[in-house]
């Protein structure tokens, strides 16, 4: 008989010395990677792009683990808990389609540009103002807010002191990334990749056995077993549009520019889709298992969805495997935190500060400032992470901002030779509409208790906060068209 458990109580007492040893060994291993690589970095391109030497297996590991920050590990299981299989079908699956298109169409073209970052590409086509606007949007998107929010949830549940635990994790993450740049990021990602995948592979059968197998899913609401989960199509569309960020995903661009050749990227992304799909499916199933456990009285009924994965795994895994699982969850957070703190720092130093400064910067200065920037970014992101109630809210806001400002200009730059005005007017139009929509909904809308989101109701029309990108993106496209007609054609 399994005891009924309250979230966040006594979980730390369940950690055995073996579990702690695994966690400490993992943390020390990450530091050792940074220390090993710091003596091998000599220029900014080597620091930020690993000298363009990444091969297929390294790319698979770094792409998969980076994209799986805790917004997936917790938010997909959160959605699986509340809504069921729709989480996989409409929150995750659109990304695979976007990744296939990205791998086959974008990667080969991008490799032909001599760029280090996405804003480099925007400047080549549209000039400096569009570069700065794009870099600012990339910076907002790259802030590791969701990863840090996920870590906070984890520490909260374990009963650890949140501030201390977050400081130690962030400190280790910042230290090895600052030391080794993309090399340290990519190699640590591979360890994190195998840890998070294997931990989940072990947890699924044990958790299924705990609730009595798939037959127990019959206690779930019928909508949980459908592809749409009974959700409004507007919400499903807003989730799916998030997949468009793959085409402007800064980590994706960085890894394409860092790849040995375009074939390595294509193979890596195609292999990665299998792993992404398996991971998403596994996490969704664990979310549903948590809901079954609540229905059966194995877990407390007032449990929040974002706790689903942790609650199930901590309740079911034996000593040793619990440490492996916690290492895996921490790895999922750290693999994204290191990548995005490096990218956000690069946005500030390389993409914004460097072009605005009159005096040219040496590689040594760039590396030093980027290293300092990593620590600053992490502090700023941890403060920002307190402003969002749900991880999904943060993710929808950040991905919406990136898509609204950068998507249309970036695709225009990759597939054509538009006038400079097209990129600038598109980025500005997207930004203005996206910001205005959020401000109007926040000022005049109301909080909906059922969906835990802001909505502005005008008669029968409902403007949900999540719809911002659905308005901003078409306006950004119109802005691009207007700029195309009015702008001077490039020679």
Q: Does 25 bind other proteins (CB under 8 A)?
A: no
Binding mask 283-312 for other proteins (x = CB under 8 A): --x---------------------------
d(CA 420, CA 454): 37
Q: Does 202 bind other proteins (CB under 8 A)?
A: yes
Which is nearer to other proteins, 41 or 241 (by Cβ)? 41
Q: How many CA atoms lie within 13 A of 362 on its CB side?
A: 4
- Cβ neighbour number for residue 471 with a 10 Å cutoff: 16
Q: Could you give the angle at which helices 420-444 and 468-486 cross, rounded to 10 degrees?
A: 150
Q: Does 410 bind other proteins (CB under 8 A)?
A: no
Q: Does 57 bind other proteins (CB under 8 A)?
A: yes
Least CB distance to other proteins at residue 279 (A): 6
Structure tokens at 474: 């078409």
d(CA 344, CA 268): 24
Q: Does 200 bind other proteins (CB under 8 A)?
A: yes
Which is nearer to other proteins, 54 or 472 (by Cβ)? 54
Binding mask 212-251 for other proteins (x = CB under 8 A): --x--x----------------------------------
Q: Does 39 bind other proteins (CB under 8 A)?
A: yes
Angle at 362 between CA 358 and CA 363, to 5 degrees: 135
The dihedrals phi and psi of 9, each to the nearest 5 degrees, come to: -110, 135
Q: Under a CB-based contact definition with an 8 Å cutoff, are residues 490 and 417 in contact? A: yes
Q: Does 396 bind other proteins (CB under 8 A)?
A: no
Which is nearer to other proteins, 136 or 197 (by Cβ)? 197
Q: Which of 41, 248, 431, 473 binds other proteins (CB under 8 A)?
A: 41
Which is nearer to other proteins, 243 or 275 (by Cβ)? 275
Which is nearer to other proteins, 44 or 155 (by Cβ)? 44
Q: Does 54 bind other proteins (CB under 8 A)?
A: yes
**At a CB cut-off of 8 Å and minimum separation 6, what does 366 contact?**
44, 47, 349, 350, 354
The dihedrals phi and psi of 100, each to the nearest 5 degrees, come to: -60, -45
d(CA 323, CA 19): 4
Q: Does 197 bind other proteins (CB under 8 A)?
A: yes
Which is nearer to other proteins, 267 or 380 (by Cβ)? 267
Q: Which of 55, 124, 209, 362 binds other proteins (CB under 8 A)?
A: 55
Q: Does 105 bind other proteins (CB under 8 A)?
A: no
Q: Under a CB-based contact definition with an 8 Å cutoff, are residues 285 and 204 in contact? A: yes
The DSSP-derived string for 311-362 is HHHHHHPPTTHHHHHHHHHHHHHHHHHHHHHHHHHHIIIIIIIHHHSSS---
Structure tokens at 407: 């998507």
List residues near other proteins by CB under 8 A: 37, 39-42, 46, 50-51, 53-58, 60-61, 85, 183, 187, 190, 193-194, 197-198, 200-202, 204-205, 208, 214, 217, 271, 274-275, 277-279, 281-282, 285
């Amino acid at each position: 008989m399994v005891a009924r458990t309250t979230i966040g109580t006594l979980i730390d007492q369940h950690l055995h010395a073996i579990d702690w040893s695994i966690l400490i060994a993992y943390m020390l291993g990450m530091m050792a990677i940074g220390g090993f690589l710091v003596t091998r970095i000599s220029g900014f391109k080597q620091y930020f792009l690993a000298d363009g030497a990444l091969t297929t297996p390294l790319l698979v590991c770094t792409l998969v683990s980076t994209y799986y920050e805790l917004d997936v590990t917790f938010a997909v299981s959160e959605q699986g808990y509340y809504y069921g299989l729709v989480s996989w079908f409409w929150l995750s699956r659109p990304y695979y389609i976007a990744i296939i298109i990205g791998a086959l169409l974008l990667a080969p073209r991008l490799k032909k540009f001599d760029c280090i970052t996405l804003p480099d590409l925007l400047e080549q086509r549209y000039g400096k103002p569009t570069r700065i606007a794009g870099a600012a949007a990339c910076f907002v998107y790259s802030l590791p807010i969701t990863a840090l929010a996920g870590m906070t949830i984890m520490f909260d549940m374990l009963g650890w002191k949140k501030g201390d635990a977050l400081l130690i994790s962030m400190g280790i993450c910042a230290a090895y990334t600052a030391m080794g740049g993309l090399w340290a990021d990519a190699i640590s990602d591979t360890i994190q990749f195998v840890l998070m995948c294997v931990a989940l592979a072990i947890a699924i059968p044990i958790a299924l056995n705990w609730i009595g197998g798939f037959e127990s899913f019959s206690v779930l609401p019928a909508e949980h077993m459908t592809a749409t989960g009974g959700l409004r199509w507007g919400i499903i569309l807003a989730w799916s549009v998030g997949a468009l960020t793959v085409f402007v995903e800064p980590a994706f661009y960085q890894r394409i520019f860092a790849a040995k050749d375009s074939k390595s990227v294509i193979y890596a992304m195609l292999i990665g889709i299998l792993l992404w799909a398996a991971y998403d499916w596994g996490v969704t199933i664990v979310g549903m298992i948590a809901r079954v456990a609540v229905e059966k009285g194995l877990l407390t009924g007032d449990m929040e969805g974002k706790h689903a994965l942790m609650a199930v795994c901590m309740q079911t895994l034996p000593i040793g495997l619990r440490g492996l699982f916690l290492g895996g969850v921490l790895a999922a957070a750290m693999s994204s935190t290191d990548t995005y703190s490096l990218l956000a720092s690069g946005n500030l130093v390389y993409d914004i500060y460097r072009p605005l400064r009159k005096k040219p910067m040496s590689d040594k200065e760039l590396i030093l400032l980027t290293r300092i920037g990593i620590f600053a970014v992490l502090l700023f992101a941890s403060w920002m992470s307190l402003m969002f109630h749900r991880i999904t809210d943060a993710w929808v806001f950040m991905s919406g901002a990136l898509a609204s400002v950068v998507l249309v200009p970036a695709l225009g730059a990759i597939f054509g030779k538009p006038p400079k005005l097209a990129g600038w007017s598109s980025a500005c139009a997207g930004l203005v509409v996206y910001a205005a929509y959020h401000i109007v909904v926040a000022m005049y809308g109301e909080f909906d208790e059922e969906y835990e989101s802001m909505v502005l109701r005008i008669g029968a029309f409902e403007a949900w906060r999540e719809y911002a990108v659905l308005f901003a993106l078409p306006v950004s496209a119109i802005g691009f068209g207007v700029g195309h007609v009015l702008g001077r054609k490039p020679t």
